[in-house]
Amino acid sequence: MMDAALHEGDRPRPFWWLRMGRSRPVSTFEFWPSWLFYAPVAMQWLALGLRYGSPLLLTAANPRIVTGGLCGESKVSILDQVEGDARRWIAPYTRLVTDADPRRDIAAAEAALAAAELDYPLVGKPDVGCNGTGVRVLHDRQDLVRFLADYPRGVGVILQEFVPFEGEAGLFYVRHPDEAVGKLTSLTLKSAPVVIGDGRSTLEELIRSDPRAGLVPHLYLPRLAGRLKEVPPTGTPVRLVFVGNHCKGSTFQNGASEITAALTATIEAIVRAIPEFHFGRIDVRFASLVELRRGRGFRIIEINGSGSEATHIWDPKMRLADAYAAQFYHYHAAFTIGQANRARGYRPSGIFETFRLWRLQKRLMTSYPMND
């Protein structure tokens, strides 16, 4: 459906076309097909499965989360597990299931929002999903009506407070059950691509002439189809995507240098309020880097489990060898944590149940509307 809306020149270029040097706006491997980039990771996964006697042992890394957070888990079910004072760090949210009769959705949604004391603007997103699929900013009631109408029937959706902070980051946390404290193994700074109007060029022309966006226009043009002929005034910034996801067009930067003892201590306190959480990524929006380093001035928008990755690997300056080193380290850590938890009596998810949930998630994601 998406390709049908694109001109021939908008189609994703072959991966070899994007083999740029480190001085270019994309890395050597940043837009390789998934099957190519993840082939060595899949081989490691199989080897670890043979070594530890279970290809799904990593699902025991977070035994209180469905599949450990590998696939098919409810986002709200993880956030709901955060206990006590740590809940103040989470952006408030509510959940509802779309009704068989779409006319009843808005009444249910407004009742849920009132109960949670939430008001516009909001962020709407699916309860089961990944990669930013279906995420939208809701400025008013009409946006909410459209958001609910565009979703399939009988699926869970989340309405969450819009956090006005500009900064967004992914913090990866790892703690072996035998360790007293965990560590932040990755910090990724996320930024939305922006083009600046010159008073002459259309939005489409600005995208195509941008050093980075012009290499991957297929990520932006369908989403902005109704605005492509607009001519933004001189100096006016136009944000091309809202969701902080690499495959949806956001730019990622390795922020490892921003990890501090204060930030680590704050994250440690938060994840310790989640029963048996050992491995995953905490996505936050933050006021400033100064505040983030001090372990304050941020709100959690999502907590992800064993299916998440250390996203700093998508920094355009990242070397392929370093990206694989990070991937191999984290998958090995997930298996060793799963092994320790299995020894403590926790069982990994079953193959058939995991496959069923993976297929359900894939099916749901194809039914969600386009994200902002």
Tens of pLDDT, residue by residue over 334-351, are: 999 999 999 999 999 999
Confidence band for 135, pLDDT divided at 50, 70 and 90: very high
Same domain, 93 and 215: no
Instruction: With respect to residue 2, please indicate whether it lies within any of the assigned structural domains.
Output: no
Give the pairing of strands 122-126 and 156-161. Answer: antiparallel
Domain boundary among 223, 240, 257: 240
Same domain, 54 and 138: yes
Same domain, 272 and 171: yes
At residue 187, does pLDDT exceed 80? yes
pLDDT of residue 71: 97
Instruction: With respect to residue 121, please indicate whether it lies within any of the assigned structural domains.
Output: yes
Same domain, 60 and 147: yes
Confidence band for 40, pLDDT divided at 50, 70 and 90: very high
Rounded Cα gap, residues 93 and 95, in angstroms:
7
At residue 21, does pLDDT exceed 80? no
Note down the domain range covering 346. 46-192+248-367
At residue 115, does pLDDT exceed 90? yes
At residue 41, does pLDDT exceed 90? yes
Query: What value does the CA radius of gyration of the chain take, rounded to a whole number of Å?
Result: 21
At residue 284, does pLDDT exceed 70? yes
Instruction: With respect to residue 19, please indicate whether it lies within any of the assigned structural domains.
Output: no
Q: Could you identify the residue written with the tokens 């704050």?
A: 266
The packing angle between helices 39-52 and 320-343, to 10°, is: 20
Rounded Cα gap, residues 1 and 160, in angstroms:
29
Rounded Cα gap, residues 163 and 356, in angstroms:
34
- Of 322, 62, 85, give the one whose Cα is nearest residue 177: 62
Instruction: With respect to residue 4, please indicate whether it lies within any of the assigned structural domains.
Output: no
Total of domains in the chain:
2
Instruction: With respect to residue 14, please indicate whether it lies within any of the assigned structural domains.
Output: no
The packing angle between helices 105-116 and 141-150, to 10°, is: 120
Confidence band for 3, pLDDT divided at 50, 70 and 90: very low
pLDDT of residue 244: 62
Q: What is the CATH number of the domain that holds 273?
A: 3.30.470.20
Confidence band for 241, pLDDT divided at 50, 70 and 90: confident
| pLDDT tens per residue across span 4-15 | 333 333 444 443
Same domain, 253 and 156: yes
Instruction: With respect to residue 9, please indicate whether it lies within any of the assigned structural domains.
Output: no
Instruction: With respect to residue 303, please indicate whether it lies within any of the assigned structural domains.
Output: yes
pLDDT of residue 193: 86
**What percent of the chain is predicted at pLDDT more than 70?**
92
- Residue 171 pairs in a beta bridge with 187, 282
Stated pTM of the model: 0.89
Rounded Cα gap, residues 201 and 213, in angstroms:
15
Rounded Cα gap, residues 137 and 372, in angstroms:
7
- Of 169, 247, 210, 315, give the one whose Cα is nearest residue 2: 247
Same domain, 201 and 307: no
Range with top average pLDDT, 21-35, 46-60, 240-254: 46-60
Same domain, 284 and 360: yes
| pLDDT tens per residue across span 52-98 | 999 999 999 999 999 999 999 999 999 999 999 999 999 999 999 99
At residue 101, does pLDDT exceed 70? yes
pLDDT of residue 9: 39
pLDDT of residue 1: 36
| pLDDT tens per residue across span 154-178 | 999 999 999 999 899 999 999 999 9
Q: Identify the burial level of 145 via C-beta atoms within 10 angstroms of its C-beta, where 0-12 means exposed, 13-18 middle and 19 or more buried.
A: middle
Same domain, 93 and 142: yes
Average pLDDT, the chain: 91
State mean pLDDT over 221-236: 92
At residue 23, does pLDDT exceed 60? no
Same domain, 225 and 285: no
Spacing of C-alpha 230 from chain mean position: 30
pLDDT of residue 15: 35
Give the full edge-to-edge strand order of the sheet including 122-126.
93-97, 156-161, 122-126, 136-138
Instruction: With respect to residue 30, please indicate whether it lies within any of the assigned structural domains.
Output: no
Same domain, 235 and 289: no
State mean pLDDT over 227-255: 86
Same domain, 218 and 253: no
At residue 24, does pLDDT exceed 80? no
Same domain, 140 and 198: no
Question: What is the three-state SS of the chain?
Answer: CCHHHCCHHHCCCCHHHHCCCCCCCCCCCCCCCHHHHCHHHHHHHHHHHHHHCCCCHHHHCCCCCHHHHCCCCCHHHHHCCCCHHHHHHECCEEEEECCCCHHHHHHHHHHHHHHHCCCCCEEEEECCCCCCCCCEEECCHHHHHHHHHHCCCCCEEEEEECCCCCEEEEEEEECCCCCCCCEEEEEEEEECCEEECCCCCCHHHHHHHCCCHHHCHHHCCCCCHHHCCCCCCCCCEEECCCCCCHHHCCEEEECHHHCCHHHHHHHHHHHCCCCCCCEEEEEEEECCHHHHHCCCCEEEEEEECCCCCCHHHHCCCCCHHHHHHHHHHHHHHHHHHHHHHHHCCCCCCCHHHHHHHHHHHHHHHHHCCCCC
Q: How big is the chain, counted in residues?
A: 372
